[in-house]
């Protein structure tokens, strides 16, 4: 019988961040698809039907992939749970006094999940789960689709905000940046305040996800996890292509396009080739 508690956030901080992330993904998606896009179509008499359907297809594609990635990060167990580990410590392995077992290289104990995680990158509060060998691909997909969604939403929102506030001149800047204050002073309606607030929310999301995506993509291309980046460990860097394959799997060229595309990982999360031992087939 599956342990459903494993899917739940581990503490209060995880719970609040996970609910916020889930709410944010759905809020942006439905606001753009059910309010912003119809408004753009209605206010543009000659808006092509093909463009409308293209927006709908792209919007639902981004939303469903972001939501699927979010679920896969949570549902995929990155820990050593279920593995048969050696009783004797091997080279590069170490004993974990908390799990009372020998832990593979690059695995670390998470004090929130209370388990050792294979090739542990970090504990993600927005999913309430650790990011490791088995679910790193889904975390990267989540970052990619959230970044695309936030950028897409900002572009759509900005065009409609400019149209709504076009007649007010410089005051529009304050309406966009301080919507609640301007609404309290009764310069804008409640609907205009929500529209400006959504634009600010999407812009803040875009900036935060951009920083996270840049950091983790750089680590992926260098074959590093967060701890190795901090301590400047480069021995697992096998070249950008093999490094990407270690995260997205053997079908890496297409796996990033959709969460549900099968792509088996090249290793088991317990043994990792290092740069000094790896021989590129092109050099043979």
Buried b (16+ CB within 10 A) or exposed e, 51-73: eeeebeeebeebbebbbbbbbbb
Angle formed at CA 234 by CA 232 and CA 235, multiple of 5 degrees: 135
* Separation between Cα atoms, residue 208 and residue 3, nearest integer Å: 33
* Separation between Cα atoms, residue 180 and residue 197, nearest integer Å: 8
Q: Is 101 a catalytic residue?
A: no
Which residue, among 259, 241, 258, has the nearest Cα to 250 in the 3D structure? 241
User: In the beta sheet, which residues pair with residue 115?
Assistant: 110
* Separation between Cα atoms, residue 257 and residue 250, nearest integer Å: 14
The one catalytic residue in 110, 113, 116, 124 is: 124
Q: How far is CA 228 from CA 80, 117, 235, in A?
A: 20, 15, 9
Give burial (CB, 10 Å; 0-12/13-18/19+) of 226.
middle
User: Contacts for 218-221 with beta carbons within 8 Å, 24 or more apart?
Assistant: 219/121, 220/140, 220/244, 220/247
Catalytic sites, residue numbers: 124
């Amino acid at each position: 019988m599956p342990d459903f508690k494993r899917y739940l956030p581990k503490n209060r901080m995880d719970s609040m961040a996970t609910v916020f992330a889930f709410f944010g993904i759905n809020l942006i998606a439905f606001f753009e698809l059910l309010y912003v896009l119809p408004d753009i179509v209605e206010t543009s008499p000659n808006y092509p039907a093909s463009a409308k359907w293209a927006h709908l297809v792209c919007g639902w594609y981004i939303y469903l992939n972001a939501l699927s990635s979010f679920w896969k990060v949570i549902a995929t167990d990155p820990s050593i749970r279920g593995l048969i580990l050696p009783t004797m410590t091997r080279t590069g392995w170490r004993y974990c006094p908390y799990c009372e077992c020998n832990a593979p290289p690059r695995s670390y104990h998470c004090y929130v999940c209370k388990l050792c995680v294979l090739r542990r990158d970090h504990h993600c509060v927005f999913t309430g789960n650790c990011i490791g060998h088995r679910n790193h691909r889904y975390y990267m997909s989540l970052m990619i689709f959230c970044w695309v969604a936030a950028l897409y939403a900002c572009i759509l929102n900005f065009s409609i905000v400019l149209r709504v506030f076009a007649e007010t001149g410089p005051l529009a800047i304050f309406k966009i940046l301080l919507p609640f204050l301007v609404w309290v002073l009764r310069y804008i309606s409640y609907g205009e305040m929500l529209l400006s607030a959504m634009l600010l929310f999407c812009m803040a999301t875009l900036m935060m996800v951009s920083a996270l995506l840049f950091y983790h993509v750089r680590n992926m291309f260098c074959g590093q996890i967060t701890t190795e980046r901090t301590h400047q460990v480069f021995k697992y860097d096998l070249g950008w292509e093999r490094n990407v394959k270690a995260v997205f799997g053997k079908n890496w060229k297409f796996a990033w396009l959709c969460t549900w595309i099968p792509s088996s990982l090249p290793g088991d999360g317990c043994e990792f080739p290092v740069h000094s031992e790896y021989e590129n087939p092109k050099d043979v």
